Structure 1
Amino acid sequence: MNKHFPQKIQGIKSFNQYVKAEMPKHDWIDIGFYPDSFILTSPPVCPNFYRISIKFELEDEDGRSLMFFSSPNQPIEWDVKKPFKGYYIQITEDIIANYQHLEYSFLTYGLHEPLYLEKEEEMIITQIFKDALREYESADFSMNLLLAYCNLMFAHVSKFYERQFGERKEKYNRLVNDFFELLNTYYNNNNQNVTQPTVTYFAKKLNITPNYLSDLIRFHTGKPVLEHIHLQIIDTSKSLLKSNKHTVSEIAYKLGFEYPNYFSRLFKKVTGKSPSNFQNQ
């Protein structure tokens, strides 16, 4: 396996063979508990489906249970010293795409932000896993019922993440501050071959996923991260427009826009004025 290119694993069955878990009963969805045979160490691998898991008795976690999430082709790796307990749901990309009410942003958080469960939350999530597993193991399980269990679990998880965002302020304040520092200095540090700032760019710089960054910034500021990016673009453009040293088109290119009319459209949307009217006022 090339350490620079994580192994791609196609399908739930292939992944279960790799980790030494029970074979799935269905190609689209798999629900199970972690067996003692589950491998304890793995280099980065990229399953092509979603994984949702709860793990108990992990080392160095003070007895707290954690939930982890990964999305298709997102690298995951682990290295634990002893077997752990827990449950998992594995579900294909097509299922999530076809049932859009299941498309929660935390599904793409990856290993960057596990959910630390309080005891009451752990009881709620564990019971849903048990109920879903009981249905999955029945001879004629209902796919609709399994997806309903997923939907119920995801709604709880979304609520629990809000609690976590509010509690772990020191960590999150640092991330939020780092984001705004990167945003405020973006054009100063990208003078050559500048491109428009994107959510993906900042997420990569902060080593988190775009959805995680978006949810974090929205929770702490009340505004989407893209709105903050657009406001920074407009503030920078206003200074350039006021200087009267550049045409509107030149400013658009300096800000990373491939087409000046896209910049003009954004400027008017945010300010209510065209760039030329602002420059000439």
Structure 2
Amino acid sequence: MDEIIKIDTIDKYNKLYGLETIHPLVAVVDLTKATTFPNHIRMNMGIYSLFLKQTICGDLKYGKKLYDYQEGTIVSFAPGQVIGIELKEDARPSSVGIVFHPDLIRGTSLGENIKKYSFFSYEVNEALHVSEEEKQIIIDCLNKVRIELNHAIDKHSKTLIAKNIELLLDYCMRFYERQFNTRSKVNKDILMQFEILLDNYFQGENAENKGYPTVKYFADKVFLSPNYFGDLIKKETGQTAQQHILLKLISVAKDRIVNTNQSVTEVAYGLGFQYAQHFSRLFKKNVGCSPNEYKKMNA
């Protein structure tokens, strides 16, 4: 098995490609200027990274799967993720991007909002494909950070660097929403699959045997990462995937309470709850009355 290299500082990343470290917590990277090129490597990232690939020169892997990473695509990774790079022989990467350490954004608005950029956890076939105009916007954002890095450090430096990175990520959010729209037919097919999978899960014995389903369970079934799947469902329906699961569960619970002779405890266990009290509290919170009260109302 290939050795996994821990990349938890900007300097370690730069040394991997023979690049100079200007700032200990952030770097705007141009791999056309790299002096060393590891052809086969696996990295455990301890830093955030976002790259625009401008030529086809090899494969990028997330876990054991190939990333949808061709010319004119953007990929991003968060700390804790393992990625693999396999370059073609004599290939030279032509990517530009940014890497930054979590410490850079602590105490900034970006640090408070970083979790909203869910694309950092997207996986296979989920890269962002950008137009020429969008590509230029990304490059302009990177240049703004580069200019600030070359400026003498003062009390405004950290804030301005973080805000420019935040601007870059906000543009990526916009471009991803555009991509969701252009893939609308595919997305609707996935939504239909989700509805079928939900029905099957609660109609069979899955819930009783496996418990309350997670978003990850359904994302795995349609071969998407939980974050991408959740964002897709929210974009298509206005509701989160978790809300869809809850609505389906409440609907099935109502049917079983009214149309069967099952006790509330039996209904709870059949829906994957280990404790009937948890089910009753959830039901009352969402319906406005307890399961027993609902049964009496609909007797």
TM-score by length of 2: 0.81
Gaps of 5+ in 2: 59-67
Task: Give the structure 2 partner of residue 100 of structure 1.
Answer: 112
CA shift for structure 1 position 182: 2.2
Aligned partner of 2:56 in structure 1 is 58
Alpha-carbon RMSD? 2.8
Distance 2:97 2:11 in 1: 14
1:25 offset after TM fit, Å?
Answer: 3.2
Bigger drift between 20-29 and 264-273 goes to 20-29
- Aligned amino acid, residue 44 of structure 2: C
* Among candidates 24, 29, 47, match of residue 32 of structure 1: 29
Q: Is the 8 A contact 2:207 2:213 kept in 1?
A: no
CA-to-aligned-CA distance 1:102-121 (integer Å, 9 cap, x gap): 43222222454111111111
1:44, distance to aligned residue in structure 2 (A):
4.3
Matched residue, 2:63: none
The structural deviation recorded for 1:270 is 2.5
1:251 aligns with 2:267: yes
1:36 CA drift (Å): 4.4
TM superposition shift of 1:122: 1.0
Q: Tell me, which stretches of 5 or more residues in structure 1 are unaligned? A: none
AA paired with 1:209? S
Letter of the 2:169 partner, please give it.
F
Of 97-106 and 245-254, more deviation after overlay is shown by 97-106
Change (3 A) 1:93 1:195: farther
SS of residue in 2 equivalent to 1:30: strand
Counterpart-to-counterpart distance in 1, 2:101 and 2:231: 23
Question: Which of 176, 183, 195 is matched with 1:161 structurally?
Answer: 176
Corresponding residue for residue 117 of structure 1 = 130
Residue 8 (structure 1) shift: 4.3
**Deviation digits for residues 199-224 of structure 1 (CA, Å, limit 9, x no counterpart):** 22222333332221111101011111
Q: How many residues align?
A: 278
Q: 1:56·1:66 contact (CA, 8 Å) conserved in 2?
A: yes
Work out whether residues 40 and 87 of structure 2, in 8 Å CA contact, stay in contact via their aligned partners in 1.
no
Decide which moves more: 163-172 or 90-99.
90-99
Contact 1:74 1:110 survives alignment (8 Å): no
Partner of 2:79: 72
User: How big is the shift at 1:86?
Assistant: 2.4
From 163, 180, 185, the equivalent of 1:148 is 163
Which amino acid is the alignment partner of residue 32 of structure 1? Answer: V
The residue number in structure 2 matching 1:226 is 242
Output the CA distance in 1 between the equivalents of 2:289 and 2:18: 60
Residue among 84, 87, 103 paired with 2:96: 87
Query: Do the aligned residues in 1 keep the contact of 2:198 with 2:245 (CA within 8 Å)?
Result: yes
Counterparts of 1:91 and 1:214 in 2: how far apart (Å)?
A: 26
Distance 1:246 1:162, change over 3 A: same
Name 2:201's counterpart in structure 1: 186
